[in-house]
Amino acid sequence: MGRDAAKEATKKAALVSSECMSKMHDLSVQRIELFKETEGERKAWLDEMVALEKAKAEEAREHCKMMLEIERERLALDKQRLRMDDEKKEEEEDERILAINLDQCQPMQRMYYQALKEDIIQRMMSRCHGPNQ
């Protein structure tokens, strides 16, 4: 191989190398563009996930508020029911005491039940006429 042939081979190798480098550069640019697109898509997906999680958290918060309000209403109704039960029991006890025949009681029992009857009658009078009279 002569000098001219060696130069020609070197030029060919340089040209092939240059083409290869150019193609490598193009592939690198394409890869970077693809990465940017992929990164953009990933960011959009993450933004969507964050928005969904926020909506889910807000929905859970609203559900908790609603459940808390329902629980408060239930407790208020339970409290009212218990108060009414207590009033009914007190009324039944008052009726039982008022129905006791004092003539058949021992002297100490008579004094006890007489005092209870007077208290019951006084309470009934204050309910009917109001607390100021």
Query: b/e per residue, 16-40, with b = 16+ CB within 10 A?
Result: eeeeeeeeeeeeeeeeeeeeeeeee
Do 75 and 13 belong to one domain? yes
23-37, 38-52, 89-103, 115-129: which range is least confident on average?
23-37
Range of the domain at 87: 3-99
Do the Cβ atoms of 87 and 76 come closer than 8 Å?
A: no
Tell me how many domains the chain contains.
2
Do 17 and 7 belong to one domain? yes
Look up the pTM and report it: 0.52
Do 21 and 75 belong to one domain? yes
Residue 39's Cα: distance from chain center in Å?
34
Q: Phi, psi at residue 96, to the nearest 5°?
A: -60, -45
Report the pLDDT value the prediction gives residue 19, as an integer from 0 to 100.
Answer: 77
Q: What is the CA radius of gyration of the chain?
A: 48
Do 72 and 126 belong to one domain? no
Per-residue pLDDT tens digits for 47-100: 999 999 999 999 999 999 999 999 999 999 999 999 999 999 999 999 999 999
